[in-house]
Amino acid sequence: MAPHLAETAIVKYPDALRHQVTLKRRVQQGLEEVARDAGRRLGPKLSVAIMIADMRSGEILGEVGSPDFFDRNRSGFVDMLRVPRSPGSTLKPLIYGIAFENGVVAQNTIMEDRPANFSGYRPRNFDSAYQGDVTVRDALQMSLNVPAVQLLEAVGTPALFSRLRRAGAEPVLPKAETPGLATGLGGLGLSLKDLVQLFAAIGTTGSAVSLYDGVNGKPSEPVRSAVLPPQAAWQIIDILGGIPAPDGAAPAPIAYKTGTSYGYRDAWSIGFDGRHVIGVWVGRPDNAPVPGITGGGTAAPILFEAYHRSGLKPTPLPIPPSGAVILSK
């Protein structure tokens, strides 16, 4: 079980005779079964990575870096939990959260989803269609690109990167490149563990969560300052909690977001209930495109399946903190 973590532990502490990990056997078994089943469905070249963590303690309860450590066809020995990849649309909740914090928008603020030009940058929606006038709530739930870029331009890319680092994530940019508006739609590198840490911060109504590295008794990074105010974080929780479960999946009390990177190279789904955060990545370790994979159609069903098969007790999402309100239309 947990071969990638076992390898990490041996490399990190080569003289230790015993390694104490934070994983729960039942959770780990469930995730490994889900990953193997998904690998068989998806095909021989695709890999799957899954992580579940306790947002209160910071303990990683289950982690799977690939469906089969010994499967060379899908480079199973590569731990895809910790490889930086394009996060697609998974950063949109943080962008909206900063906009809520700054008073730029409210849930029912009307925004325009139409072709736009941001100093030469012309984002398009995933389906190349536009919705016209939409509420902020609908824009985030539908993962529309133009409204997200409009809000990122309003709050600034430095704010986005600052909050990512507060959450414990380590964004990667190409050498000598500065953050631009494209970073809001996936133009940077983040690992699955980075995104799990980010969504843990949102799920705890804004407080950064330091995840354990799994092989010792201390968090891998010190606790950092607040990522979002509780009121702004709860607005995001309320919006993401209203996204329906993917087709064919059993309902669960999860707030979640999906993402698909440019060129169909990465499919993501990250979500949480009131206590546990879970992340799923699907793609090829060699970064080759996989036409047809999407966060909503490929990764989200795996997320819901992993949530149910983890054996963890469902926990309701947080109630609104003091001062959190939703203005009527």
Q: How confident is the model at residue 215 (pLDDT cuts 50, 70, 90)?
A: confident
* The predicted structure's pLDDT at residue 303: 98
Q: Is pLDDT above 90 for 1?
A: yes
**Has residue 3 got a pLDDT over 70?**
yes
pLDDT exceeds cutoff 60 at 224: no
Residue 223 confidence (pLDDT) above 60: no
Each residue's pLDDT tens digit, 158-197: 999 999 999 999 999 988 788 899 999 999 999 999 999 9
Average pLDDT, the chain: 94
Q: Looking at residues 287-314, what average pLDDT do you find? A: 97
- What residues contact 55, with CB distance under 8 A and at least 6 apart? 200, 203, 204, 209, 272, 275, 276, 277
State the pTM of this model.
Answer: 0.95
